[in-house]
Amino acid sequence: MEDLDTPRVVPGSADRILRTLEAFGLHWDGDVIYQSQRSDVYGAALDQLQTAGYTFECSCSRRDMSGTGDTGYPGTCRLGPTRRGVLTATRFRVPPDFVVLFDDGIQGKCRFNTHELGDVIIRRKDKIIAYQLAVVLDDALQHVTNVVRGTDLLESTAWQILLQQALKLSTPSYAHLPLVVEQTHEKLSKSRHSVPVEPARAGVSLTTVLRMLNHPPPPELENDVPERLLEWAVHQWNPVAVAHVRSVTARDTVHAK
């Protein structure tokens, strides 16, 4: 459960996520693990990276970085924070002009140059451990062998592989599924009136999603219960049907009225 951003955690949302997964026929092994209870593990890994010279402190403000987003940090503070007396974030120093290659189960051969990626933040100014570092440790501690997620995290994979190598952890296999986007190619979000999935309509949503993934269920299975739809989909699943597809456009069924 990704609840590291404590100030932004909405009470009850973790439980709602679990109930939604159950409604969709998706189950998990063992106990649910909360990132907020793993501070010691993340702190030890951060120390390890600092000791090995993989990090530097960055004093850049959001304004200094405007327009660059998450990627493409120009290396401003690589030789030390450029501002005095301000809070600093910790960045992971990526090797210069190095190409990260991986073979994605759906997107195929992926390559990212560290020059374009930039040095990623692994601990924020408010001292909260950032997603990239936490997720690498979570995967390793749970012996995750296959990561399946959305293409919005395709680029993050490159940083995660570099972090795994720096921490001497093994790299799992990755498969990045197309993301559902608006007609304008923007991500779904509350500000665009996208609605959350409704547990009570799990069968309808699964049918829609399977169609979007080029796996349309046969008429007799349309809008059926999640267990039957998933069983069918597992047997029919063919990654070639979505190979190299980065996004699919949302249809009216996933929009608010």
Q: What residues line the site for Zn ion (CB under 5 A)?
A: 58, 60, 76-77
Sign of CA dihedral 227, 18, 143, 55: positive
Please name which of 205, 211, 110 lies closest in space to residue 157, comparing C-alpha atoms.
110
Which is closer to Zn ion, CB of 77 or CB of 242? 77
Which is closer to Zn ion, CB of 20 or CB of 76? 76
- Measured in degrees and rounded to the nearest 5, phi and psi for residue 75 equal 85, 20
Degrees (nearest 5) of the Cα angle 145, 46, 77? 120
Please give the Cα distance from 139 to 57 (Å, whole number).
Answer: 26
Please give the Cα distance from 5 to 20 (Å, whole number).
Answer: 21
Which is closer to Zn ion, CB of 133 or CB of 242? 133
Nearest distance from residue 175's CB to Zn ion, in Å? 34
Which is closer to Zn ion, CB of 19 or CB of 115? 115
Nearest distance from residue 82's CB to Zn ion, in Å? 6
Nearest distance from residue 127's CB to Zn ion, in Å? 16
Please give the Cα distance from 93 to 95 (Å, whole number).
Answer: 7
Nearest distance from residue 58's CB to Zn ion, in Å? 3
* Residues forming a β-bridge with 100: 112
Which is closer to Zn ion, CB of 125 or CB of 149? 125
Nearest distance from residue 152's CB to Zn ion, in Å? 25
